[in-house]
Structure 1
C-alpha cells in the first residue's frame, strides 16, 4: 500500500479571456506554480461568469481547500459568490484592468509570483493551525424580504456611475479607460436625475438623485475613492448619496472621485448603516439604472443590502491576519 500523501486540492476560477494573449501566460504561470507547490488543481472556469460560479459551487463538494480567483474584479466577484459563508478561503491573483478589490485589501496586482506566494503561505499557515486568512465582511443583496441572491465585497451603485458602467459594457471601442470616458459623455448627454427612496437602518432619504453607492470597501471603478473611510471588516456600510445635480456640476464633481475630495462637496452625503434598502420613486425622478456591484450588473431596483460580518476569508500576506 502506498503511503504517499494525497495532494491538496484547490479550485481555480479564471476570467473569460484567460485562453488568449496575456491571459494564457497568466494561466500557465498559475497552474504551474500551484503544481510546483504540490497542489492538485481543478479548473472551475466557464465561458461566462454565471456558468463559472455554478461550476465553482459544484467544486466545493469535491473538497477543495481554497478557491483561487485569477483575473479582475469580476472574477473575484464570482469567487465571492461561491465562498461567502462557506468557510472556504478565497485566494486572489489580480490580473484585470481595475483590480479594485485587490487594491482595497492590500494585495499584489499584476504580480503572479507574489500572489502565488501569498496563497502558498496562507494555506501552509492554515494547515499548521495559524490563521493565514483575513476575514472580511460581505454584503448580501436581495429583493425586499427575499433570500440573499448575490454577494459583493466592494461597492454597489445604482446612480449615474452604474449607468455609465452599463453603457461602457455595450461599447466595443475604444479599449480600457477610453471606453469608460466615452460612456460618461454619452450618459451625461441625456442625464436626468433619478428618483430614490433609500432606507438606512430606518433613516429614510427621499429625493431626486445623481449618486447612490453602498460601500463595504472604499474603491471602485478602476481607482475611484468613492468611500475612502470604508473599512471591510467593521460590520458597517458607508452609504454615499447626492441629490440631483446639473450636468455641469456633475462634470466638475466627477474628477474628485479619484481623490475622495467629492466628500467635501456640500451636496454629497455619507451615512453608515448595517442594512440599506434602495427603491425607485418615479414621482421624484427618472427610473434609476440597474444596480452594479464589484463592477458586475446585478438587478433592477428595489434592492436590499445587508452586511454579513466576516463572511469571507481571503488568503492574506503574513503579518496581516
Structure 2
C-alpha cells in the first residue's frame, strides 16, 4: 500500500491492477494520483496495487465496508478502481446495494463497463476528473443468482450477462494471450464458430415460460460487452429494465456475416435477432453457461433480475464524446 495523506477529510481508496493494458495502468498511476490530489487537496488517497485478482477483490470489499458516509460537509469516502473490466466488476460488486460512490478509471483494452456507464473518457488521467468533480448518479445493475463460480449465491453485473455462443467466445478470449481488446474477441469468435451448435433454452421472462433453440441470449444492463460489441444498442442503465438480445438459430455463414456488425449494433436489424425488455429472466438448459462483465458466472439455472438504482458512480454522460489518449 502507498499512503498519500492530507487531512482527515474524504478518503479515496484506489485499487489498481498494475498489469492492465499491458502495463499501461502502472505507467499512468503516478499521474492519476497527482491529478486526484491536486484536484482534491483535502482528501486522503490510499493506493493499493493488487498482486492478483483475489487481493484486488479483498481490497475493494474492505474499502467499501469501511467507507464513511458524508458528514459535516465532508463528502462520503469512495472506492476507485483502475484497470480493465475485471477491476470494474470488482468495484461494482463491492459497492452495489450500498451508498459508497464508485469511481471507474479505465486502463484496460476493452473498457466495456465505462462505455456502458457513459464514462467515455478512456485516458485514466482524464477519467480522474469525474471523481474530482464530485458529480455522481445512481444507476442500475443486474443481480445474478444461482450456483455461481467460487461458491457465491449472487453477483452483481454492470454490463451484460452473456450465454451460448457469446459466452463461449468470452471464455476462449479470456484464455488467449497474444491478441488484445477487440482483436482477441474477433479471433475467439472465429475459433468458436467452427464448433458451436444452437442450444435449447428454457426461459422464463417476467413469469412467461418459453422453450426454443438459440445461438445465444444476452441479458444486458448496458450496451457493450466483448471488447466493444454493442450487444444492446438501446440499453439504458437508468431505466429499471433488462434488455434481452436473442439470436435465433442461423447458419455459420450468417453468423459470420453478423459478427462485424455487432460492434456497431447494426446486427439487431437481422430477422434472426429478437429484442425484448424485462425485469427478471430465468435461464435453464443443458450446456448453458453464463459470463457476466467478462467474468465466469457458472452453469444454468441462472436468475437475472434488475436491481434499480443500486449503484452510485462518479460521472457518466450517455451523450459525452469518446476521447482516446
**1:311 aligns to 2:310 (yes or no):** yes
Q: What are the within-5 Å matches in structure 2 for residues 89-238 of structure 1?
A: 89-122=101-134, 132-143=135-146, 149-238=154-243
Return the alpha-carbon distance in structure 2 between the equivalents of residues 148 and 68 of structure 1.
25
CA-to-aligned-CA distance 1:227-276 (integer Å, 9 cap, x gap): 11111111110111122222112111222212222222112111111011
Stretch deviating more after TM superposition (175-184 or 268-277): 175-184
* Selected match of 1:86 from 71, 94, 98: 98
Among candidates 60, 68, 91, match of residue 56 of structure 1:
60
> Paired residue for 2:10, among 8, 11, 19?
8
Alignment partners' CA distance in 2, 1:319 and 1:158: 26
> Partners in 2 of 1:207 and 1:259 — Cα distance?
27
Q: Deviations over 1:43-65 (max 9, x none)?
A: 34533334312222112343351
**1:108 and 1:114 in contact (8 A); partners too:** no
| Structure 2 residue aligned with 1:297 | 296
Secondary structure in structure 1 of the residue aligned to 2:143:
strand
Q: SS of the counterpart of 2:300?
A: coil
| Residues 1:267 and 2:272 aligned together | yes
Q: Is the Cα contact below 8 Å between 1:241 and 1:269 reproduced in 2?
A: yes
8 Å Cα contact 1:224/1:258 also seen in 2: yes
What is the rounded CA distance, in whole Å, between the counterparts of 2:224 and 2:85 in structure 1?
Answer: 11
Match of 1:244 among 240, 249, 270: 249
* 1:20 Cα deviation after fit: 6.8
Q: How many residues align?
A: 301
CA distance in 2, matches of 1:114, 1:19: 16
Partner of 1:127: none
Say which SS state the counterpart of residue 215 (structure 2) adopts: strand
Question: Partner residue of 1:27?
Answer: 29
Query: What is the CA–CA distance in structure 2 between the aligned matches of 1:61 and 1:119, rounded to whole Å?
Result: 20
Question: Contact 2:103/2:313 (CA < 8 Å) preserved in 1?
Answer: yes
Contact 1:291 1:299 in 2 (8 A): yes
Q: Any idea what the Cα deviations from partners look like across 1:286-320, whole Å, max 9, x if unmatched?
A: x23x3111111221211111111100011116999
Which deviates more, 36-45 or 51-60?
36-45
Render the CA deviation track for 1:119-164: whole Å, top value 9, x for unaligned.
0111xxxxxxxxx2111001111118x9852101111111211101
Residues 53, 81 of structure 1: 8 Å contact kept: no
Distance 1:30 1:235, change over 3 A: same
Structure 2 unmatched runs, 5+: 1-5, 69-76, 320-325
List per-residue Cα deviations over 1:44-88 (Å, max 9, x = no partner): 453333431222211234335111111222211110000001100
Q: Which runs of 4+ in 1 moved over 4 A?
A: 317-320
CA distance in 2, matches of 1:7, 1:310: 27
Q: TM-score, with normalisation over the residues of structure 2?
A: 0.85
CA distance in 1, matches of 2:317, 2:254: 45
Alignment CA distance shift 1:166-1:120 (3 Å): same
